[in-house]
Chains A and B, each alone.
Chain A
Amino acid sequence: MPLITYRQALNDAFAEELTRDENVFLMGEEVAQYNGAYKVTEGLWKRFGSKRVIDTPISEAAFLGLGVGAAMMGLRPVVELMFWSFAYVGFDQIINNAGCVRYMSGGLINVPMVIRGPANGGTNVGATHSHTPENFLANTPGLKVVCPATPYDAKGLMISSIRDNDTVCFMENTLLYGDLGEVPEGSYTIPLGVAEVKREGLDVSLIAHGRAVLTCLAAAEILATEHGIEAEVVDLRSIRPLDEETILNSVAKTHRAILVDENKPFCGVSSQIAALLAEHAFDDLDAPVLRVTALDAPAIYSMPLEKLQLPDAQAVVAKVLSSF
């Protein structure tokens, strides 16, 4: 299998879907002639033209709403947010319109749209550009939320998201765009709502999504080599729908759960997983459920301090050791 970047995997997904379905179009700030602020859409404007790959003004509320309106009419917009942090400017369009119009119309309307872009801290760009709103969005019944960690997952989940008949909030990560991974050529899909065990283990379950999955894999290596602890790493991949079965099966096997989350701790994704385990895995647990999350403060600019704000492998290792 070819080794390509996370960025290229997404780019391939767009190219394949633009070719397959003429109702698919890409839209966002700098996605066309500039080739994308993070080059995720590089070359697509040249290949597919201005009708299919469209530069927008800096007007998130208007172009998100335009996407919703166009999707109601049967088009399949893939709308890029240069950062998911910018979604807050257009939140009304995402929550009230994309998220609620199906319900409020009694099912007469659906909004097959993908809203995508990076949602991560760790790049010294300050609090306003470092938000991880997967918890906010997953809090809205009607929206789906996907956070791939690897190039393979990014492509398969993106193709599924574009073909999905509901609105999918697809969260990437600027720190992952350059990561290499094996990705098949041609189309394939990964269903939303299916987690993946990225590493098998018997002693503890590390449950994560997005870049935190890679942190967990690194921690698992340290735990195995230095502490003789075999950690299982569960990659949620999709936050809503959520694959609870894979989570519960893993915890039933390991009897320990450490939740690793670059989201903030208060009402974050990890809070939901903790609630799930409290309700359904109580008897399986040999230790309290513990969490390693982003520190509960706005993202700091200062480079060394920002590193402290996000979960790293050592913090995960320490937390695992504390649970034994």
Chain B
Amino acid sequence: MARKLSKPSQSKKSAPKKAVRPVVSKPKSQAKPLSKATPKKGGKKPLPLEKAPAKKAPSAPKAVLKDATKTPSKVDFSKSPFNASLKPAQKIGYLREMLRIRRFEQQALKYYNQGIMGGFLHLYNGQESVAVGTASLMNGHDEIITAYRDHGHALAVGMGMNECMAELFGKGTGCSKGKGGSMHFFAPDKHYWGGHGIVAGQTPLGLGLAFAIKYKKINGCAVAFLGDGAVNQGVFSECLNMAALWDLPIVYVIENNGYSMGTSLERSSAVNGSLAKRAEGFCVEWATCEGFDLYELRANLGAAMERARKESKPMVLEVSTYRYYGHSVADANAKKYRAPEEIELYKSDYDPITRWQNQLLKEKTVTQAQIEKIDDEAKAEAAAAVEFGIASPWPSEESIFEDIYHEVDHKTEAGQTGRFFFSE
């Protein structure tokens, strides 16, 4: 059955295998605030850092964003089949989830900066709509996996703030018992498979989830997230080939926040209109959408996931989004490789939470007072999670040698023959 994605400019249709030739949308309809222009092959492009010192920068991001705003969406995504029947409670629930993620990370940032958390902290601030939108579309049999910017996805699928915060503090009550840290949250019981630290390393794992779904004849799909930097890892291309070859039910969601660490999209990727378009070379359908608006995200991703489930086909969906902080909090150059004004503009005009709040206010789904109450609750929950994390005990020394081998942990026969660990 032919399925159209909600975005009309992306006219998609099911085509016979190997003949899939998605209609490429007109460049301007691919509202991509982050790509200033289609790079010209061989042409000299001013690099963001060379372009101007920060003081002169304000015109640059505005010009970029103007492109995005110039093509105001004529589509009312609230009318999409994935949104039209949403109940007020669900819409308010999405707001709550986004606010919980935002407040959780703000608390984490505070304590990270105090030096009482270890490692890296890759914040998801500004991108919350993508994780929440995705979790809202999961059918109970869908499986998701992401990279190291994973707090949002974890909370969105229902992991508790306490276990997540405790993990950041390296405590035994953490979701990974203090063994994984910020980049490695997992909840298989909630169909959430991490949390992976190596760029694009999770993309073939996602393929494996999709493979298992198909093998077991489960009515679900896999959604694997990756960043705009990850598309340049070779394994991702291998995955697209195999996904197409074997008709695996997977949606690769490229969360394009414009920067692979400190290197802008323009400086890291050869782009022909969009990153997602690379999928064409593998006969994989693709689309782009903005992630700032939850309705738009749900409409597009919902269609992609439904297609994956029903037709067992892969798809690449590139979502424009933006992170307010650096690659990680330790990224000292976060305001050097992009103009501070650019960051401020995204915060003021493109914040997914503000947009959703305004949308719900406009719909009269929620009142300002209700929003404040939800936000206060999220703040209180995050503060309580910090208390829980700080008060929690460190993992025991014995636990260093637990959770390495399943057979050893379970004291099976196979776990008791021979020596497994070689330190004295």
Residues of A within 8 A of B (CB): 25, 51, 56-57, 59, 61-75, 92-93, 96-97, 101-110, 112, 141-142, 144, 160, 164-166, 191-194, 238, 240-244, 272
- Report the 10 A-B pairs with minimum CB-CB distance, sorted nearest first: A69-B208, A193-B418, A65-B204, A241-B418, A62-B238, A107-B403, A73-B212, A106-B177, A106-B176, A59-B238
Q: Please indicate the chain A residues that have their CB under 8 angstroms from the CB of B193 in the complex.
A: 69, 72, 109
**Contact between A191 and B414, CB atoms less than 8 A apart:** yes
Q: Which of B166-216 contact A (CB under 8 A)?
A: 174-180, 184, 186-188, 193-198, 201, 203-213, 215-216
**Contact between A59 and B420, CB atoms less than 8 A apart:** no
**Contact between B241 and A243, CB atoms less than 8 A apart:** no
Q: A51-B215, A104-B180 are in contact. Are A166 and B207 (CB under 8 A)?
A: no
Residue of B186, B197, B241, B417 touching A191 (CB-CB under 8 A): B417
Residue of B178, B212, B403, B421 touching A69 (CB-CB under 8 A): B212
**Contact between B215 and A106, CB atoms less than 8 A apart:** no
**Contact between A109 and B186, CB atoms less than 8 A apart:** yes
Shortest Cβ gap from A187 to chain B (Å) = 15
List the one stretch of B31-39, B69-77, B376-384, B404-412 in contact with chain A. B404-412
Q: Please indicate the chain B residues that have their CB under 8 angstroms from the CB of A165 in the complex.
A: 406-407, 410, 412, 414
Q: A93-B201, A107-B402, A165-B407 are in contact. Are A73 and B208 (CB under 8 A)?
A: yes
**Contact between B414 and A73, CB atoms less than 8 A apart:** no
Which residue of chain B has the shortest Cβ distance to A238 in the bound complex? B418
Which residue of chain B has the shortest Cβ distance to A51 in the bound complex? B215
**Contact between B417 and A72, CB atoms less than 8 A apart:** no
> How many interface contacts (CB-CB < 8 Å) are there between A and B?
185
**Contact between B215 and A70, CB atoms less than 8 A apart:** yes
Q: A61-B238, A64-B204, A75-B212 are in contact. Are A96 and B418 (CB under 8 A)?
A: no
Q: Does B239 touch A at the CB level, under 8 Å?
A: yes
User: Whole-angstrom distance between the alpha carbons of A64 and B239 in the complex?
Assistant: 11
Q: Please indicate the chain B residues that have their CB under 8 angstroms from the CB of A110 in the complex.
A: 406
Q: Does B143 touch A at the CB level, under 8 Å?
A: yes
Residues of B within 8 A of A (CB): 143, 145, 174-180, 184, 186-188, 193-198, 201, 203-213, 215-216, 234-235, 238-239, 241-242, 245, 402-407, 409-410, 412-414, 417-422
Which residue of chain A has the shortest Cβ distance to B178 in the bound complex? A106
Shortest Cβ gap from A268 to chain B (Å) = 15
**Contact between B403 and A164, CB atoms less than 8 A apart:** no
User: Whole-angstrom distance between the alpha carbons of A141 and B422 in the complex?
Assistant: 9
**Contact between A65 and B402, CB atoms less than 8 A apart:** no
User: Whole-angstrom distance between the alpha carbons of A101 and B406 in the complex?
Assistant: 11
Which residue of chain B has the shortest Cβ distance to A144 in the bound complex? B405
Q: A65-B235, A72-B188, A96-B201 are in contact. Are A102 and B404 (CB under 8 A)?
A: yes
Shortest Cβ gap from A59 to chain B (Å) = 4
Q: Please indicate the chain B residues that have their CB under 8 angstroms from the CB of A74 in the complex.
A: 212
**Contact between A166 and B212, CB atoms less than 8 A apart:** no
**Contact between A142 and B405, CB atoms less than 8 A apart:** yes
Sampled A-B contacts (6; CB under 8 Å):
A65-B203, A72-B208, A109-B188, A109-B193, A194-B418, A241-B418
User: Whole-angstrom distance between the alpha carbons of A164 and B414 in the complex?
Assistant: 7
**Contact between B242 and A62, CB atoms less than 8 A apart:** yes
Which residue of chain B has the shortest Cβ distance to A275 in the bound complex? B422
Q: Please indicate the chain B residues that have their CB under 8 angstroms from the CB of A240 in the complex.
A: 418, 420
User: Whole-angstrom distance between the alpha carbons of A65 and B201 in the complex?
Assistant: 8
Residue of B207, B212, B417, B421 touching A65 (CB-CB under 8 A): B207
User: Whole-angstrom distance between the alpha carbons of A67 and B209 in the complex?
Assistant: 9
User: Whole-angstrom distance between the alpha carbons of A164 and B412 in the complex?
Assistant: 10
Shortest Cβ gap from A139 to chain B (Å) = 10
User: Whole-angstrom distance between the alpha carbons of A25 and B216 in the complex?
Assistant: 12
Q: Please indicate the chain A residues that have their CB under 8 angstroms from the CB of B414 in the complex.
A: 160, 164-165, 191-193
Q: Please indicate the chain B residues that have their CB under 8 angstroms from the CB of A65 in the complex.
A: 201, 203-205, 207-208, 235, 239
User: Whole-angstrom distance between the alpha carbons of A105 and B145 in the complex?
Assistant: 13
**Contact between B209 and A104, CB atoms less than 8 A apart:** no
**Contact between A92 and B201, CB atoms less than 8 A apart:** yes
**Contact between A108 and B186, CB atoms less than 8 A apart:** yes
Residue of A106, A194, A238 touching B175 (CB-CB under 8 A): A106
**Contact between B234 and A61, CB atoms less than 8 A apart:** yes
**Contact between A107 and B417, CB atoms less than 8 A apart:** no
Which residue of chain B has the shortest Cβ distance to A194 in the bound complex? B417
Which residue of chain A has the shortest Cβ distance to B199 in the bound complex? A92
12 new A-B pairs (CB below 8 Å) besides A66-B204, A66-B205? A69-B205, A69-B210, A70-B215, A93-B235, A102-B403, A106-B178, A106-B186, A108-B176, A108-B187, A108-B188, A241-B418, A243-B417
Shortest Cβ gap from B386 to chain A (Å) = 20
Q: A104-B176, A106-B179 are in contact. Are A68 and B208 (CB under 8 A)?
A: yes
User: Whole-angstrom distance between the alpha carbons of A164 and B415 in the complex?
Assistant: 9
Q: Please indicate the chain A residues that have their CB under 8 angstroms from the CB of B197 in the complex.
A: 96
Q: Please indicate the chain B residues that have their CB under 8 angstroms from the CB of A92 in the complex.
A: 198, 201, 235
- Most chain B CB within a 10 A radius of its CB, from A104, A106, A108, A164: A106
**Contact between A101 and B208, CB atoms less than 8 A apart:** no
User: Whole-angstrom distance between the alpha carbons of A56 and B215 in the complex?
Assistant: 16
- Most chain B CB within a 10 A radius of its CB, from A73, A109, A164, A193: A73
Q: A64-B204, A105-B184, A193-B419 are in contact. Are A73 and B209 (CB under 8 A)?
A: yes
Q: Please indicate the chain B residues that have their CB under 8 angstroms from the CB of A243 in the complex.
A: 417-419
Q: Please indicate the chain A residues that have their CB under 8 angstroms from the CB of B186 in the complex.
A: 101, 104-106, 108-109
User: Whole-angstrom distance between the alpha carbons of A61 and B239 in the complex?
Assistant: 9
**Contact between B177 and A97, CB atoms less than 8 A apart:** no
Shortest Cβ gap from B47 to chain A (Å) = 30
User: Whole-angstrom distance between the alpha carbons of A194 and B414 in the complex?
Assistant: 10
**Contact between A166 and B184, CB atoms less than 8 A apart:** no
- Most chain B CB within a 10 A radius of its CB, from A61, A63, A110: A61
Q: A193-B418, A240-B420, A242-B418 are in contact. Are A105 and B180 (CB under 8 A)?
A: yes
User: Whole-angstrom distance between the alpha carbons of A112 and B407 in the complex?
Assistant: 10
Shortest Cβ gap from B207 to chain A (Å) = 5
User: Whole-angstrom distance between the alpha carbons of A243 and B54 in the complex?
Assistant: 63
Shortest Cβ gap from B149 to chain A (Å) = 16
